[in-house]
């Protein structure tokens, strides 16, 4: 390939040590937020399929609000807006984790709902007719099957949330993008540095994809 522009490989590699300093923050915010979001998602996902209306509606409201507003607006609201309501400051890292948690939680709620609803009714009837209680039936028969079906979608959401953390440079978290911006501010090597930033995100998301693929394979055997 014969490209006719100056790509400075040296500048690209020189930026790596500075960029790598942002990775812990990116991982902490995304995985911390996703871990909490996963439990939020199970909670609201199960409420969402409850036959009881007053249990179902709060879940619907929560899901629609956090699925229907941009994650950037959510984090700005949490970091700059909430302190005025709470009357106390919020740490930027906590604000970032909270934003990913409530945002991914809304999506994961829907993933949980879809997964559980995809299991044939016969499974529940079989469990009940074996004399298991409704809780046992759900926990031991429905949930394991449903969860296996959720894994691809959960992985997808994980990758989306990792990428969403790139927006949090605006609240002063020193994550990958912020590290890149600071570096470019003194070197003006936007092309090289942003390419490196992109490659680092790819490295993180690809590792997650591979880990999930192994998880799926594991889940399909020995059940």
Partner 1 sequence: MKHPLKTLFLLSCFGMGLGFAGIANAQEETLDVVTDPSFVPFEMMDQDSGEMVGFDMDIINEVAERAGFEVNLRTMDFNGIIPAVQTGNVDIAIAGITITDERAEIVDFSDPYYDSGLRLLVGADDDSIETVEDLEGKTVATKIGSTSYDYLQENLGDSAEITPYPGSSDMYMALLGGSADAVFYDAPNVGYFSQTQGEGRARTVGPLYEGQQYGIVLVKDSEWVEPVNEALASMKEDGTYDEIHTKWFGSSSEE
Contacts to partner 1 by CB under 8 A: 14, 17-18, 21, 23-25, 27-32, 34-35, 38, 79-80, 83-84, 88-93, 95, 144, 147-148, 151, 154, 169-174, 178, 181-188, 190, 211, 215, 218-219, 223
Q: Which is nearer to partner 1, 7 or 39 (CB)?
A: 39
* Other beta carbons less than 10 A from residue 21's beta carbon: 15
Q: For the chain, how big is the Rg over CA atoms in Å?
A: 21
Interatomic CA distance for residues 207 and 217, integer angstroms: 16
For residue 55, what are the CA distances in angstroms to 44, 62, 102?
9, 12, 18
Handedness of CA 82, 85, 91, 97 (dihedral sign): negative
Rounded to a whole number of angstroms, the minimum distance from the CB of residue 52 to partner 1 is 26
Q: Which is nearer to partner 1, 121 or 217 (CB)?
A: 217
Interatomic CA distance for residues 68 and 36, integer angstroms: 20
Rounded to a whole number of angstroms, the minimum distance from the CB of residue 75 to partner 1 is 11
Rounded to a whole number of angstroms, the minimum distance from the CB of residue 46 to partner 1 is 15
Interatomic CA distance for residues 135 and 196, integer angstroms: 49
Q: Which is nearer to partner 1, 1 or 185 (CB)?
A: 185
Contact 42/203 with Cβ under 8 angstroms?
A: no
Rounded to a whole number of angstroms, the minimum distance from the CB of residue 14 to partner 1 is 7
Q: Which is nearer to partner 1, 56 or 148 (CB)?
A: 148
Q: Which is nearer to partner 1, 60 or 184 (CB)?
A: 184
Residue spans of alpha helices (H) in 49-139 = 53-67, 71-76, 82-86, 92-117, 121-129, 134-137
Rounded to a whole number of angstroms, the minimum distance from the CB of residue 47 to partner 1 is 19
């Amino acid at each position: 390939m014969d490209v006719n522009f100056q790509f400075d490989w040296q500048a690209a590699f020189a930026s790596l040590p500075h960029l790598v300093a942002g990775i812990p923050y990116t991982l902490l915010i995304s995985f911390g937020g996703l871990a909490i979001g996963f439990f939020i998602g199970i909670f609201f996902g199960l409420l969402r399929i409850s036959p009881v209306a007053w249990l179902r509606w709060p879940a619907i409201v929560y899901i629609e609000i956090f699925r229907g507003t941009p994650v950037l607006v959510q984090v700005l609201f949490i970091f700059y807006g909430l302190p005025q309501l709470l009357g106390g400051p919020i740490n930027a890292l906590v604000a970032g984790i909270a934003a990913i948690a409530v945002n991914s939680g809304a999506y994961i709620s829907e993933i949980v709902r879809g997964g559980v609803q995809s299991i044939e009714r016969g499974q529940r009837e079989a469990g009940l007719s074996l004399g298991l209680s409704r809780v046992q039936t759900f926990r031991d028969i429905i949930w394991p099957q449903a969860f296996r079906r959720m894994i691809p979608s959960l992985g997808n959401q994980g990758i989306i949330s990792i990428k969403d953390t790139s927006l949090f440079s605006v609240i002063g978290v020193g994550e990958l993008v912020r590290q890149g911006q600071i570096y470019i501010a003194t070197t003006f090597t936007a092309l090289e540095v942003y390419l490196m930033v992109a490659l680092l995100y790819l490295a993180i998301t690809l590792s997650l994809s591979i880990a999930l693929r192994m998880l799926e394979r594991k889940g399909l055997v020995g059940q």
